[in-house]
Amino acid sequence: MKKTVLSALFALLVCFLCNSCKKDPDNQLPETDYSKGVLICNEGLYPNGAGSISFYDPATKTVQNNLFENINNRPLGNTVQSVTTIADKTYIVVTSAGRVEVVNSQNFTYLTALDNLPLPRYLMAVSPQKAYLTVWGENGVNGAVLVVNLLTNQIAKTIPVAKGPEMMAMVGNRIFVPCEGGYDFTNYDNKIAIINTNTDELETLLTVPDYPNSIIADATGAVWALCGGKVVYNTDWTINETLSTKGGLVKINGATATVESVWEFATAGNASSLITNAAKTELYYSFNGSIYRILAGSAQFNPSLLLSHSYYGMAINPNNNLLYGADPADYQSNGRIIRHQLTDGAVLDTLTAGIIPNGSFWFGQ
């Protein structure tokens, strides 16, 4: 009897000790899910510095810098141009390294990479199995769109376009690609490439004003391209209006793939970063150091001033309609992300990013 009682007491003690050693799930800090926040691209010092990815967690309002490097114990390389998430994978385009790094979107661990790419720029999914990747080519002017098989992470086809293809917009079974020109900033182009996603063939090249650098699709299915124009400076760094060309906003009918209208700027100047609000009813862009807004349905070119300064790049979070502006500061140390209300441009807060944040973001749910 005594032996039985002792055995029972010993079993209870072992059970208690085992349970006391187990971690209480309620007291554990949950692992961060990097697909739920905001990914920020930082180009890094050119030409030898490594770029990086920063992660902003809206729940905790904190930023983790050097995300890829800290998790995978190696740098990304130069220059981190863009980032996008497709299903459970995140694709980081590293231009100067000629690579697209593929990581698990939740824990950011390395999965695979697409290597030996000729100056890759932006990647966009066109179906669950296929993505398009713009590349500038070996010398920066042999532009193409690569068809990427997302199941095998192999390049299935190369579609030659014009010089300097950039970000893309999609309407129906067409991809619209602005081709701005070569990387030396003197070899401009003036084409919008239109690709049929069913056939992976180039349908046509539309001629637009010089230096088309950004593009979006609005709520009606119209495609808008922002053309910066060719900017030539005098010796005192004022703009030479005679040698420069004017940029403007171009509206393209997404159904017919034809140019509907061209709103030319009154003067030559620097125009970039065309983006849209969450509802895709308003357009925002930078021009000569300021940020402007215009309704996508406007019959006339009548933009209104939002901010009297501009950013290296910018985007709008579709989840909350906040404007994210990328400020690279001195281009040597950590930059900043300034968040604005869209209603009046008021500053909400400022986040510390990596070196040279460029305005390419991925906004998770």
Q: Quick: pLDDT tens for 52-70.
A: 999 999 999 999 999 999 9
- Percent of the chain at pLDDT > 90 equals 86
For all residues of the chain together, what is the average pLDDT?
A: 91
- Predicted pLDDT at 211: 96
Q: Residue 205 — pLDDT band, cuts 50, 70, 90?
A: very high
- Predicted pLDDT at 23: 41
For residue 217, pLDDT over 90 is answered with yes
Supply the pTM of this predicted model. Answer: 0.90
For residue 299, pLDDT over 70 is answered with yes
Q: Residue 141 — pLDDT band, cuts 50, 70, 90?
A: confident
- Predicted pLDDT at 184: 67
Determine contact, residues 177/165, Cβ cutoff 8 Å: yes
- Predicted pLDDT at 187: 82
- Predicted pLDDT at 46: 87
CA dihedral 326, 327, 330, 333 (to 10 degrees): -60
The whole-angstrom separation of Cα 166 and Cα 270 is: 17
Amino acid at residue number 130: K
Burial of 270 (0-12, 13-18, 19+ CB in 10 A): middle
For residue 1, pLDDT over 50 is answered with no
- Predicted pLDDT at 138: 84
For 194-202, the CB contacts below 8 A with 24+ separation are 194/257, 195/132, 195/145, 195/159, 195/161, 197/126, 197/127, 197/130, 197/132, 197/170, 197/173, 198/173, 200/147, 200/156, 200/157, 200/159, 201/159, 202/159, 202/160, 202/161
Q: Quick: pLDDT tens for 154-200.
A: 999 999 999 999 999 999 999 999 999 987 667 889 999 999 999 99
Q: What is the mean pLDDT of residues 77-96?
A: 97
Hunting for tokens 């995978």 — which residue is that? 72
